Structure 1
Amino acid sequence: MGLQFVAHLGLGDPLLDQDLRDLDVAWLPSGAHLVAGTGPLGGLLSFRLAEDVIAQLVDTIHFPGAVTTGQTGLAAPVGAAGRMALAFGSASDGGGRAILAQELTGTGGFGATIALGRLPQAVSEVSALVSARIGGLETLFAADSGTGQLLVFRSGLAAPVSTAMPQGPDGAALLAGPALLSLVGAGADMQLLALDQGAGALYSFAVDATTGALSARGVLDGGGGLAVADVTALEVVSAHGATFAIIAAAGTQSLSVVRVEADGTMVLVDHVLDTLATRFGGAQGVSVAQVGDHVFVAAGGADDGLSLFRLLPDGQLLHVETVVHAPGLGLENVGQLSAAILGTQLQLFVAGDARGGISQFALDLSTLGVVAETGGNAAALLTGTAGDDLLMARGFGADTLSGGAGNDILLSGPGETVMRGGAGADVFVISAGSGLVRITDFAPGTDRLDLSALPFLRNTGQLGIEAGLGFARLRFRDTVVEITATTPVLLDAARLFGPVFDWPDRLPILTSSFTLPITGTPDADALGGTAGADVIDGLEGDDTIFGLGGNDTLRGGNGRDSLGGGPGHDSLSGGADNDTLFGGDGDDTLDGGGGNDDLGGGVGNDSLIGGPGRDRLFGAEGNDTLLGGDGNDMLGGGPGHDLMFGGSEADELWGSDGNDTLWGEAGNDTLGGGAGHDEIHGGAGADEIWASFGNDSVTGGDGNDTIGLFFGDDLADGGAGDDQLWGAAGNDTLMGGAGNDTLGGGGGDDLLDGGEGRDTLWGGAGQDTLVGGAGDDILVGDAGDDLLFGGAGNDRLDGGAGNDTIFGGTGADVFIYGGAGAGTNYGADVFEFFNATDGDRLLLTGTLWGGGLTAAEVVTNFGSINGGGNAVLDFGGGSSIELTGVTSLAGLDAAIDIFG
């Protein structure tokens, strides 16, 4: 059923219906209540909630004068002495500014307005408020939007005291401006997360279990992989034995998931971008609801709709559905969301900027099943229930997942995985790193296939798809998915995925964990790490930085920097200017930034990003990912199964040993696959592509491309443009595509298809098949028993030596006999459906009979009608022509031309 619209909650009071800045669910003695807060000109609203019931208004209150609410408006509930209050902002009271809260009664009504704490004079305004009961007292945490300070107030809702204003090692405020706050953990493990909205940096602070005092622990920012802009929302959830922070950013139209460790370390685990299939562009609001380890995440923004996700155990967001705005839904410019579990129902409340008021949605969860996974190296069978299960293959053995009845989600694992969904609308999720996956009961139109975890997969053109009736095989890099359908329909890309993928774009994770950095100076520094996980910032100057052991994060900053990661899974960022980065052993991430950079991954599965400038990237050993970016870049994968993207302008990409995937993208690129079964895509521009040993797949893309193949059974597609495709040894398939193409098969039994345009095709040695396609084409079979199809247009067809079969197709075609080959034995050729009436001509060489004869004499001396009723010209010595469809020799001479 999915999310269902329930009702629109509007009061008709513009001060309370508009500028809704926060929605919270408070759990009171009388049950769940939705409390909504507006900007400073409005007030608070309280609604009683229940399963299968439209939210009922309980009470409203208008703010007193001179109230200022923060960017998030309402803060988390503050409870004390049997009461609950909601902190919502601050106001002047003659002696400064006081943080205010509104008491909530047990039935959801509003009581007295309470002053929770007084702001120091240096504080301009609070941007966020969160609270917890610590050491027997209510403790309120506030962020100063002007100075970047964090404030801690302790009170019994009577006598607050400011106890801490955390600073960095240099005495400066850790935050640069407005921030979002959230608390995770409890007792001695409690931490405060502060998300700097301007800088897009997430900080963690330990909270003293007795006093509430803060001490800085870790930071995750753009230099380390959290690439966000215009941050708008922060939500946290504990599930699957971990704690996650979910970040929405309007500027990058993104959702990011960060795993927060108990020691304050933060690990970026997912980062997705809005697409045409989702509706969280310009993201403003995020909300989380959970039933055990079933975690639901809703997000919306300026995209006129909202998207619902499931949070998987590794922190990945799985797109479940998207609701697009329609009249009456109130999903225009979504600003705030709040979700809650009521009985067996998820209720979602949405505040939009356009209509005002609050929209109520509901999702039936009565059939939720289990969350379960396999593990270990042995083969395992995991069976679901009759409900909606989440089943995951986590072991390295040959696992089998069987969903049973219900709408199940099944995730493949690193080993060979067999997945059976069973009855219901199931989702088969192919995890990154999966090898062979078999889906045995895919129901077209009901089940879904989700490939969003596969890195850099953006469209079906990147997939190798073998489609059949009731069966399909998909290949992407080292992942192979074999699908058997429940009905005998053609499982092509359209039936599997529709016109576009229905999931958000997922970016690769470029970093892992961070601590507060070691910093250099504005001068040229030489900085070294330790055997542990170091964070080193070079700042200005031409710096030399070595991480040594551990999973290090090195940032060069401005200047011509040299960075060496050493052993460990390192993250290196060069910054501006011409930098040199070397990862060393381990799975490293290298980002050159601006300038003409040199990047070397070393041993391991590395990710190299050149950025703007003329960069040189070399992955070395391992399965590496290389992104050239802007500029004329040179990329070399080294041994291993590598993935390379040239980016814009004229790039060079060289694959080396291994099954590599190369994308030239825009520009006139030069690409070489190296040994292995490679996949090479030229992209836009006039590209040169040279395959090597192995069975390679090559596409030229737009532009006048040159493609050269080598040993192996290769596939080449020139795409649009006037292309040149040259096969070699092996049974090759060459497709010219649109444009006036030139195709040469070389040795082996080749298939050549010119496509649209005036194409020239040479088969070479071997038993070749040549297809001219539309246009006036030239087809030459050369040695071997060849099959030629001229197609539409006025074609010239020459079988060459060997016993050839030639179809002219529509148009006035010229059938050439004796134009190629050795000696005078040109083979026994069959010219199918030769039609002189349509303008077909027969072009013969005089060397067949020693010359000196007219066309009429040739027909008289060598012509006959065979037992099949077709005209034959037999020149002896194994050289003959059968003209099918020509049943008489009369007038045949008029269609013959002689040369040589």
Structure 2
Amino acid sequence: MLQFKDVVATGTAALDSGIGDTALKTFNGETYLYSTTGPGGGIVSWRLEAGVAAQAVDQQYFEATIAHQVGRIGIPINLVDGDQLILDVDNATGLIGYDLNTDGTIGEIHETNSLSGGGDISAATQMTVGAHDILTLVHEDTSQLATYRIHADGTLNLINTVVGQANEMQSLQADSKQFVVAIETASNSILSYSVDQNTGTLAAVDGNASNQTLGINAPTAIEVVQAYGKYWVVIAGSESNSLSVMELSGSGRLRPTDHILDTLHTRFESVQDLAVVEIAGRVFVLAGGGDDGVSLFTMTPDGQLIHLDSFADTLESGLQNVETLSAAHVGDELQIFATAQQDAGLTQLNVSVADLGVVAQGYGWVTGTAQDDLLSGGILDTTLNGGAGNDILITGTSSTIMTGGAGADIFVVRQNSGPSVITDFEIGTDRLDLSDYAFLRTPAQLDFTSTSTGARIAYRGETIELISDTNAPLTSTQVFGAGFGGPDHFPVDLGSGPDNNASEGLAGTFTLDSATQNLAVKDAEIRFTPDGGSPLTAQANEYGEFALDVPDGVFPGQLEIIKSYSTASNEITALDALQVLRISVGLDPTWGPAVAENFIAADITRDGSVNALDALAILQVAVGQSTEHDAEWVFLDAIVDLSGITRNNVVYDTGADVTMVDEALSIDMTSVLLGNVEAV
């Protein structure tokens, strides 16, 4: 897919070597690329046209006053009197940039009014807030992120500052709100900031600590994109050799959806830069670094990366230690431009996007076109039919039947899918992608059985029925070759367990609402099983927020909440054991008659009656001894009839019947902590 086109250069070392940044800008339908070198260098503009290599339009050496103070970044912004490429200049008092003319030429140098943090910047991003254009800068000298309002005369007026550093940042509008996301390499920081819609004031967003569990080391690049009705952030980790995808919520919090590591089959070790492009509803991600090449991925509607191709450096190309990447949609091509630390000039790679088809996700029958489609199964049984073209077919959470049709198809089987059937696997042409399976590193880990028409594959309780296009038996080598290609995927959520879903809860009745914070269920596992489908699970964050990824529509089903007991809360004590002993012999608790919720809390063994064994188990929990009957929270439908519960008849159903409408649910529930009799 990735095709080498050319290495373009001006022929002048000061402009061709050590290119530290590239940036894209479109004027009157024409796309231009600007390459920037460091001290003693300058800027070159290149016109991008379909079918040909980039053409140099203009060049500008840095003025003598800044030539030895300028850094290696160039960021396009729009001021009132036109566009500029702003620079990082030591000792500058204002922001310095060169005019970008609409014909692709480079104009005069300008400096704004003096800024509180000066013109020594490491990152910048621009956005519109209300009726105002806002510019956020990272001032290296003062270690501050500063937000400025751009005035009609081109001056910048400080709105506010927050303490922090960032090597790169991007702005993104999520729903009606504006956010800034930033990375800082030295501290491994990934931060998001909200922008006040009235004032433009910047404020840090709390609740992103979970991103630290991904193991991103030395983040070096960040890109954002709006696609599939959601808002996405992609981050490169240089020392972790990783790419991570996160969904940005309307509150500004980041939820990881994928995390991949470089392998021998990919080319993003020591990754330095990213490029993300949305074309015809499809998202493409490119990455490159110290691996002397570039890797190409597409991103699915659920935020997963699928490896499409990797291009390794050749004698003709110049990709030794890739430094920067930019990608643009030009005609029927995706044009990629890479610069390298060891090679001069711009290496141009092309990918044809002439045959992009539809992106469709659903259940029942999902049918593609004669082009290259991306089809995903839904939460109920699904049949995917790709038709002609080089299609990508992805299983849903229930049973999925996939037919690729003509062309080189990729069949992606997701972890926790229902039984999967592939009806027409073509040896040497089609690809089976199992990279979502946790900790699967080699085909030898699979239970692979040849059948009369293909093969049956099993892994950790999940099965794939593989039928060849010739109805002949298939071997593991025919399906996977010498082994798996592509990157290693690591789970971003290992699921709930006794250690990671235990936190304080709220006893009694509460309203569970998928659109708000639910402190009663923070850190709990939320499990929704649609009628006729397989379970969907999500773990609530520290605020009780969760996303089940249920599509728009009406889906009745069953809701379960799983939450263990946090011993740090000290809610269960020896007094609870004493109360259970009283109940077990027919006495009232010390406060008076017990109610149904008391009996439920007392029956920690869940054997249907309150007895001395419950008291013993509760005492063991209270003093920190091990027990066969751990304390846990149970969640009941608030309208369920509990009138029949007595000390000798503790029978009840957990969970509730719910109906999700357009991804939303709201239901009143009752939470009871088993063992905590006195709190009821």
Please report the TM-score for the alignment, with normalisation by the length of structure 2: 0.72
1:413·1:434 contact (CA, 8 Å) conserved in 2?
Answer: yes
Report the alpha carbon displacement of residue 318 of structure 1 after superposing the two structures with TM: 0.6
Structure 1 residues 858-897: aligned runs within 5 Å: none
Query: Given the alignment of the two structures, is residue 367 of structure 1 paired with residue 349 of structure 2, yes or no?
Result: no
DSSP 3-state at the match of 1:491: coil
Structure 1 residues 13-412: aligned runs within 5 Å: 13-29=12-28, 31-64=30-63, 65-66=65-66, 73-81=73-81, 83-92=82-91, 97-120=93-116, 125-145=120-140, 147-156=142-151, 158-166=154-162, 173=163, 175=164, 177-185=165-173, 188-221=176-209, 224-375=212-363, 380-397=364-381, 399-412=382-395
Residues 63 and 486 (structure 1), Cα distance of their counterparts in 2 relative to 1, 3 Å cut: same
DSSP 3-state at the match of 2:15: helix
1:510·1:571 contact (CA, 8 Å) conserved in 2?
Answer: no
The 2-side partners of 1:491 and 1:367 are apart by 30
The 1-side partners of 2:341 and 2:452 are apart by 49
1:200·1:222 contact (CA, 8 Å) conserved in 2?
Answer: no
Which residue matches 1:675?
none
DSSP 3-state at the match of 1:245: strand
Report the alpha carbon displacement of residue 469 of structure 1 after superposing the two structures with TM: 5.7
2:521·2:563 contact (CA, 8 Å) conserved in 1?
Answer: no
Report the alpha carbon displacement of residue 290 of structure 1 after superposing the two structures with TM: 1.3
The 2-side partners of 1:124 and 1:487 are apart by 66
DSSP 3-state at the match of 2:89: strand
Residues 110 and 216 (structure 1), Cα distance of their counterparts in 2 relative to 1, 3 Å cut: same
1:274·1:280 contact (CA, 8 Å) conserved in 2?
Answer: yes
Residues 530 and 637 (structure 1), Cα distance of their counterparts in 2 relative to 1, 3 Å cut: closer
Residues 450 and 48 (structure 1), Cα distance of their counterparts in 2 relative to 1, 3 Å cut: same
The 2-side partners of 1:340 and 1:444 are apart by 34
Which AA in structure 2 matches 1:148?
S
Structure 1 residues 470-481: aligned runs within 5 Å: 470-481=453-464
Report the alpha carbon displacement of residue 310 of structure 1 after superposing the two structures with TM: 0.4
Of the three residues 437, 440, 447, the one matched with 1:454 is: 437
Of the three residues 515, 518, 521, the one matched with 1:550 is: 521
Residues 243 and 139 (structure 1), Cα distance of their counterparts in 2 relative to 1, 3 Å cut: same
Report the alpha carbon displacement of residue 361 of structure 1 after superposing the two structures with TM: 1.1
Report the alpha carbon displacement of residue 332 of structure 1 after superposing the two structures with TM: 1.4
The 2-side partners of 1:31 and 1:442 are apart by 43
Residues 74 and 186 (structure 1), Cα distance of their counterparts in 2 relative to 1, 3 Å cut: farther
- Note the alpha carbon deviations across 1:443-496, whole angstroms, 9 max, x for none: 000000000111111111211000246511110112101111123665222221
2:234·2:245 contact (CA, 8 Å) conserved in 1?
Answer: yes
Residues 478 and 108 (structure 1), Cα distance of their counterparts in 2 relative to 1, 3 Å cut: same
The 2-side partners of 1:68 and 1:231 are apart by 27
Report the alpha carbon displacement of residue 410 of structure 1 after superposing the two structures with TM: 0.3
The 1-side partners of 2:145 and 2:505 are apart by 30
Residues 268 and 70 (structure 1), Cα distance of their counterparts in 2 relative to 1, 3 Å cut: farther
Residues 404 and 21 (structure 1), Cα distance of their counterparts in 2 relative to 1, 3 Å cut: same
Structure 1 residues 703-714: aligned runs within 5 Å: none
The 2-side partners of 1:473 and 1:71 are apart by 57
Of the structure 1 ranges 468-477 and 404-413, higher mean CA displacement relative to structure 2 is found in: 468-477
Residues 245 and 60 (structure 1), Cα distance of their counterparts in 2 relative to 1, 3 Å cut: same
Which structure 1 segments of 5+ residues have no match? 167-172, 513-526, 534-546, 554-566, 573-583, 591-619, 622-635, 640-900
Report the alpha carbon displacement of residue 230 of structure 1 after superposing the two structures with TM: 1.2
The 1-side partners of 2:18 and 2:628 are apart by 53
Query: Given the alignment of the two structures, is residue 586 of structure 1 paired with residue 562 of structure 2, yes or no?
Result: yes
Between the aligned residues of both structures, percent identity stands at: 33
The 1-side partners of 2:129 and 2:112 are apart by 15
Query: Given the alignment of the two structures, is residue 499 of structure 1 paired with residue 470 of structure 2, yes or no?
Result: no
The 2-side partners of 1:587 and 1:443 are apart by 45
Residues 249 and 147 (structure 1), Cα distance of their counterparts in 2 relative to 1, 3 Å cut: farther
DSSP 3-state at the match of 2:444: helix
Report the alpha carbon displacement of residue 194 of structure 1 after superposing the two structures with TM: 1.9
Report the alpha carbon displacement of residue 292 of structure 1 after superposing the two structures with TM: 3.2
The 2-side partners of 1:324 and 1:637 are apart by 56
Query: How many residues are aligned here?
Result: 527
The 1-side partners of 2:506 and 2:201 are apart by 30
Residues 206 and 234 (structure 1), Cα distance of their counterparts in 2 relative to 1, 3 Å cut: same
2:120·2:139 contact (CA, 8 Å) conserved in 1?
Answer: yes
2:174·2:249 contact (CA, 8 Å) conserved in 1?
Answer: no
Structure 1 residues 492-571: aligned runs within 5 Å: 492-510=475-493, 549-552=520-523, 569=540
The 2-side partners of 1:436 and 1:307 are apart by 31
Of the three residues 398, 413, 418, the one matched with 1:415 is: 398
**What RMSD in Å do the two structures reach over aligned CA positions?**
3.3
Which residue matches 2:660?
none
Which one scores higher on RCO, CA 8 angstroms, separation ≥ 6? Answer: 2
Report the alpha carbon displacement of residue 98 of structure 1 after superposing the two structures with TM: 2.0
Which structure 2 segments of 5+ residues have no match? 496-502, 512-517, 525-537, 544-559, 567-604, 607-626, 631-680
- Note the alpha carbon deviations across 1:205-244, whole angstroms, 9 max, x for none: 2223344221222352467424211111000000000010
Residues 266 and 484 (structure 1), Cα distance of their counterparts in 2 relative to 1, 3 Å cut: same
2:207·2:542 contact (CA, 8 Å) conserved in 1?
Answer: no
DSSP 3-state at the match of 2:205: strand
The 1-side partners of 2:474 and 2:90 are apart by 64
2:422·2:464 contact (CA, 8 Å) conserved in 1?
Answer: yes
DSSP 3-state at the match of 2:521: coil
Please report the TM-score for the alignment, with normalisation by the length of structure 1: 0.55
Which residue matches 1:10?
9
Residues 268 and 456 (structure 1), Cα distance of their counterparts in 2 relative to 1, 3 Å cut: same
Residues 68 and 242 (structure 1), Cα distance of their counterparts in 2 relative to 1, 3 Å cut: farther
DSSP 3-state at the match of 1:74: strand
Residues 189 and 494 (structure 1), Cα distance of their counterparts in 2 relative to 1, 3 Å cut: same
Residues 414 and 568 (structure 1), Cα distance of their counterparts in 2 relative to 1, 3 Å cut: closer
Residues 412 and 186 (structure 1), Cα distance of their counterparts in 2 relative to 1, 3 Å cut: closer
DSSP 3-state at the match of 2:437: coil
DSSP 3-state at the match of 2:75: coil
Report the alpha carbon displacement of residue 133 of structure 1 after superposing the two structures with TM: 3.8
1:202·1:219 contact (CA, 8 Å) conserved in 2?
Answer: no
Which AA in structure 2 matches 1:248?
A
DSSP 3-state at the match of 1:495: helix
Structure 1 residues 849-864: aligned runs within 5 Å: none
The 2-side partners of 1:318 and 1:198 are apart by 29
2:403·2:423 contact (CA, 8 Å) conserved in 1?
Answer: yes
Residues 56 and 206 (structure 1), Cα distance of their counterparts in 2 relative to 1, 3 Å cut: same
Report the alpha carbon displacement of residue 29 of structure 1 after superposing the two structures with TM: 2.0
2:175·2:250 contact (CA, 8 Å) conserved in 1?
Answer: no
Structure 1 residues 676-715: aligned runs within 5 Å: none
- Please state which structure has a larger fraction of its residues in helix: 2
Residues 188 and 568 (structure 1), Cα distance of their counterparts in 2 relative to 1, 3 Å cut: closer
Which AA in structure 2 matches 1:366?
A
